[in-house]
């Protein structure tokens, strides 16, 4: 059995029923994605539009592509026809652009609002206070080019498990708040996407319904080669 297959199988065994695994394939060749595909994996995550588009072109059409990286409005059109979910919605401007491009493509683009819970300034996302301000101003049912499906969070990259858990707990609280708001148009707000290779077991303790795992499945990324 190849290493990718072995690691995929191991990760899948540790995930509770109902948790979706997004295999983060950024920087890795399509051949490795094909291996994971043979095991039944269909959800793959990329963080660059160009790489996402070129891999989607050469790989099976039933793959569900997740855009997990920071997204510029001028690149939404390239992925709108096929992307399965956009995880990194962090501004009203981007949300409106995705709505427009979704309608143009005749689709409702599934979106996660990225919430900034980490103690790191370079992490993208809406601060909890910004999210709480933004949501009530949105006329969600009028956004017919997209579907708000939940929240995405990235925790601080630290060995301090208590801090990471605190950040995941903050995201979970926000998620539950939105779900319980009973707002029209949020009937499918069911996804809490958090947890990467080094912290997904902590994310699962705080209600993650989707995890994004790269290194544990595909090995270390060689940025020198592809970036």
Ligand X SMILES: *Cc1c(COP(=O)(O)O)cnc(C)c1O
Task: Give the shortest CB-180-to-ligand X separation in angstroms.
Answer: 26
User: Per CB under 6 A, does 119 bind ligand X?
Assistant: no
- State which residue has the least CB distance to ligand X: 214
Spell out the SS3 assignment of 161-211: HHHHHHHHHHHHHHHHHHHHCCCCCCCCCCEEEECCCCCHHHHHHCCCCEE
Neighbours of 54 (CB within 10 A): 13
Shortest spacing between CB 135 and ligand X, in angstroms:
22
Angle, CA 161 vertex, CA 113 and CA 176 arms, to 5°: 35
CB of 103 to ligand X, least distance (A): 27
Binding-site member from 20, 73, 163, 197 for ligand X (CB under 6 A): 197
| 147-176: contacts with ligand X (CB under 6 A) | 154
- From the CB of 199, what's the least distance to ligand X, in Å? 8
Residues 6 and 106: their CA atoms lie apart, in Å, by 39
* Smaller CB separation from ligand X, 144 or 215: 215
Residue closer to ligand X, measured from CB, 55 or 145: 55
| C-alpha–C-alpha distance, residues 46 and 50, integer Å | 10
Q: Should residue 212 be labelled a site residue for ligand X when binding is judged by CB under 6 A?
A: yes
Q: Would you tell me which residues interact with ligand X (CB under 6 A)?
A: 24, 26, 47, 68-69, 154, 196-198, 212-215
């Amino acid at each position: 059995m190849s290493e990718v297959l072995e690691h995929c199988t191991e990760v899948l065994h540790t995930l509770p029923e109902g948790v979706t695994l997004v295999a983060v394939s950024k920087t890795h060749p399509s051949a490795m994605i094909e291996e994971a595909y043979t095991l039944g994996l269909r959800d793959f995550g990329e963080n660059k539009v160009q790489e996402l588009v070129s891999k989607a072109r050469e790989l099976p059409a039933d793959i569900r592509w997740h855009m997990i990286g920071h997204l510029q409005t001028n690149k939404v059109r390239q992925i709108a026809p096929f992307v399965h979910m956009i995880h990194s919605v962090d501004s009203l401007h981007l949300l409106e652009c995705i709505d427009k491009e979704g309608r143009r493509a005749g689709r409702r683009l599934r979106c996660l609002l990225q919430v900034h819970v980490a103690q790191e300034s370079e992490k993208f996302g809406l601060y909890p206070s910004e999210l709480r301000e933004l949501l009530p101003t949105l006329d969600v049912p009028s956004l017919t080019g997209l579907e708000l499906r939940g929240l995405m969070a990235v925790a601080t990259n630290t060995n301090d498990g208590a801090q990471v858990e605190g950040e995941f707990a903050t995201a979970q609280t926000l998620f539950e708040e939105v779900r319980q708001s009973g707002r029209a148009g949020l009937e499918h707000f069911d996804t809490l996407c958090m947890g990467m290779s080094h912290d997904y077991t902590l994310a699962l303790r705080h209600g993650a319904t989707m995890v994004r795992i790269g290194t544990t499945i595909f090995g270390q990324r060689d940025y020198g080669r592809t970036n």
